[in-house]
Amino acid sequence: MIKKKIIIGNWKMNPLTLKEAEKLYGEVAAGVSRTKNTDIVICPPFLYLEKLTKIRTSKIKLGAQDAFAGDVGAFTGEVSSEMLYEIGARYVMLGHSEKRTLGESNIDVNKKLKGALASGLHPVLCVGETVRDENHGYFSLVKMQLEECLKGISKSSLSKIIIAYEPVWAISSTQNRKDATADDSREMAIFIRKILSDKFGKEAQSVKIIYGGSVNERDAEDFLSNGGVDGLLPGRASLDAKKFAKIVEICETLSR
Ligand code: PGA
């Protein structure tokens, strides 16, 4: 099954001002304006989402970095998937390691994922181990993350879901981080595909699996060609319009 590749930029809590966010988004939009074969998503902080929907581009979809599981009600400080969809977001990242560090559990992610699907958003489910131990315990950890986060999800929803494999030890914000290789990515992508096939059967083929963890314009080609994935999730590199556009261009070239 040929799947359109996807590049998702995770801006995290950047940039500091709306003005800078609009400038960066405008530059990214200009840089990717000739894209044909790649889906492009930018996930800015909540606060900028609505303003960025006003910047004209037919190439980029917007995503949020989190969403609350419920819809309306007494949930101080939360933002629901329904609100995000209504404002123009079409994707939502869930279960990012930086949220899990703050206490988010697989059960929380599962509830959020169901809420996102019910609202029409594409969930980008982030999974990944903190360390790679010699006994390969990281496989069982990722398996558990997948099973618990996808509990009760119907086969018919699968084509909307993207799984992002993000080894925490390779993410740019991790202290003493190490580079992951395309082999690390491919090994886990195959494993994730197997878990999904065991659980859902052949419908699992429709799920996109992408890689994130300090991916940049220099190693994007290697990850896309040899990493067994359908796309990438750059964080730091997505804050530089030229670097991000270059990653998209590499993806385009490989998709031709
Ligand atoms: P990074 O971030 O590319 O800066 O490592 C990726 C992520 O955390 O999603």
pLDDT in tens, 121-131: 999 999 999 99
- How far is it, in rounded angstroms, from Cα 104 to Cα 163? 17
pTM score of the predicted model: 0.97
Contact 63, 25 (CB under 8 A): no
145 lines ligand 1 (CB under 6 A): no
Question: Candidates 6, 11, 12: which one to mutate for ligand 1, based on the most atoms within 8 Å of Cβ?
Answer: 12
Residues 139-151 have a mean pLDDT of 98
CATH number for 5-255: choose from 3.20.20.70, 3.40.50.80, 3.40.30.10, 3.40.50.460.
Answer: 3.20.20.70
* Structural domain boundaries in the chain: 5-255
Q: Which residue has the higher pLDDT, 194 or 3?
A: 194
| Catalytic annotation, pick one of 82, 98, 129, 166 | 166
Average pLDDT, the chain: 96
Q: C-alpha 225: how far from its chain's center?
A: 19
Is pLDDT above 70 for 87? yes
Q: Is 166 in the active site?
A: yes
Is pLDDT above 90 for 8? yes
- How far is it, in rounded angstroms, from Cα 87 to Cα 30? 23
166 lines ligand 1 (CB under 6 A): yes
User: How far is the centre of ligand 1, averaged over its atoms, from the C-alpha of 233 (Å)?
Assistant: 7
pLDDT at 22: 98
User: How far is the centre of ligand 1, averaged over its atoms, from the C-alpha of 105 (Å)?
Assistant: 20
Phi and psi at 184, nearest 5°, equal: -60, -45
Identity of the residue numbered 91: Y
pLDDT at 1: 67
Per-residue confidence band for 14, with pLDDT thresholds at 50, 70 and 90 = very high
Least confident of 67-71, 110-114, 188-192, 235-239: 67-71
pLDDT at 127: 98
Contact 197, 148 (CB under 8 A): no
Contacts 24+ apart (CB under 8 A), 214-220: 214/170, 214/171, 214/172, 214/177, 214/179, 214/180, 215/247, 216/243, 216/247, 217/243, 217/246, 217/247, 217/250, 219/179, 219/182, 220/246, 220/247, 220/250, 220/251
- How far is it, in rounded angstroms, from Cα 138 to Cα 188? 10
Contact 13, 48 (CB under 8 A): no
What separation, in Å, do the N-terminal and C-terminal C-alpha atoms of the chain show?
Answer: 15
Is pLDDT above 80 for 192? yes
